[in-house]
Amino acid sequence: MGVDTMGRVVVQARIENLGDLYLAREGAIAQAAVRRIDVTDALVDTIGATILCLPPQLIAQLGLNVGQVRRVRTAGGLKDFAMYDAVRLTVQGRDCIVDVAEVAEDCPVLIGQVPLALLDFVVDPKGQRLIGNPDHGGEQMFEIFTYFPPS
């Protein structure tokens, strides 16, 4: 028998260098010059990852620069992680802008809680897939509950 993969959600994702996208929009570089990668096996991680995590080889392919180093809680305790330039992440036709953390080279691409919230997806563990948030009729929506004083 194979390994039990109940609840494991793997998706296709496109990850694009945000700086390149801005340059292409301004006409400074061609759209074809935008550095991007298509990943067929990004692991949706709603427990262990907060943001988008990429191994060093993919970070290099995208040409991302270190923005800062942040303290991160891991299964092995507190560690310092390099944080890289933001990227545009596209999954199932929805996209968001998200920072990138570096993980070990042998680690898969991890899509964490923040990108899932921005993409407005929830995990269907039985179907092993992402679905549009049922609370929003399956459509991508943001919630902004800000107090506006009466006029």
The answer to whether residue 67 sits within a structural domain is: yes
What are the pLDDT digits (tens) for 24-69? 999 999 999 999 999 999 999 988 888 999 999 999 999 999 988 8
What pLDDT was estimated at residue 119? Answer: 95
Does 112 have pLDDT greater than 60? Answer: yes
Mean pLDDT of the chain: 88
98: domain CATH number? 2.40.70.10
Rounded Cα distance between 86 and 99, Å, is: 4
CB 100 within 8 A of CB 84: yes
CB 49 within 8 A of CB 112: yes
The answer to whether residue 39 sits within a structural domain is: yes
What pLDDT was estimated at residue 27? Answer: 96
Produce one character per residue of 6-36: b if its CB has 16 or more CB atoms within 10 Å, e if not.
Answer: eeebbbebebbbbbbbeebeeeebeeeebbe
- How many separate domains does the chain show? 1
The answer to whether residue 146 sits within a structural domain is: no
What pLDDT was estimated at residue 108? Answer: 94
What pLDDT was estimated at residue 20? Answer: 97
Does 117 have pLDDT greater than 90? Answer: yes
The reported pTM is: 0.85
What pLDDT was estimated at residue 1? Answer: 35
Mean pLDDT of 72-82: 81
Rounded Cα distance between 86 and 63, Å, is: 11
Paired with 132 in beta bridges are 121
Does 150 have pLDDT greater than 60? Answer: yes
Residue 130, helix vs strand vs coil: strand
The answer to whether residue 3 sits within a structural domain is: no
Does 133 have pLDDT greater than 90? Answer: no
Residues of the domain holding 35? 10-136
The more confidently predicted of residues 11 and 140 is 11
What pLDDT was estimated at residue 143? Answer: 75
The answer to whether residue 79 sits within a structural domain is: yes
